[in-house]
Structure 1
């Protein structure tokens, strides 16, 4: 009896992962409103009812896709306002292709679906919780929120440049890379002192 429940649980985990992977690919290619649960279920090779069972429906599935559980506290890493410009500069110029590729895919998913009332609410909630609130908390002061928004605007601009416009000239040798990081550090520092 115990063995069959273990097998079912393992299958449930694999099925859930398959649904998430299929949804990720669908939301990467299409806006929230254009993605159907039947399409995702077909891509995952499962019955559409399993999406409701595991995620509660399309909104729950989308929330799970855009929640970056790999690094949910990324923007809580800098412990002081002095660390923030260097941290963000490294994040922008980072060479780890897998991490950057994942972040850029998440950015595209959010950008494609931000105009949807349902998806937009989810995106705003997650951006506030995972990005703006931690940044504003690190910055502190009366203008912490405004400065956090300025930092996010710079990050979003780089994201649009890389993902939508496909302009990514940050693949540099070590010396040029260090100069690029320093320039971004100065840009982020300026946004914090305006």
Structure 2
């Protein structure tokens, strides 16, 4: 009986510790700088850019790499949506393919779609360019925040982008 009470007490202490740690983290998240919030919104749309472009290029060229990586891009978008929700940041992501609120991303989408339509090699080069941009932007986002949860999300996305870049480079080397 004493053992059960001791275990129950330890569980209660552990749960209380976890709860207060989560609460502190949430309070910290509410004090993000506007720059950090803008970065999160940009990263969400940048993940959508990759998702939309890979969809179009997969339909055009039917290359397995676009289908495989596109599944990952969907998860990346969900990770960014979750990061925004956890931080109570309102966002609207246009569901229409190829439509972006950010004018820089809209221009990039139009340019990369045009390039990717020319040939399979050009399409693969577009994938490489997207991943290189994503890596650069994620590195900047990591340097621009002290929020551990944001850093964790960005780091996971960064590691995936390195893997995607390697896959595009392998496919390009076959041409």
Q: What TM-score, normalized to structure 2?
A: 0.34
Greater fraction helix: 2
Q: Which has the larger radius of gyration?
A: 2
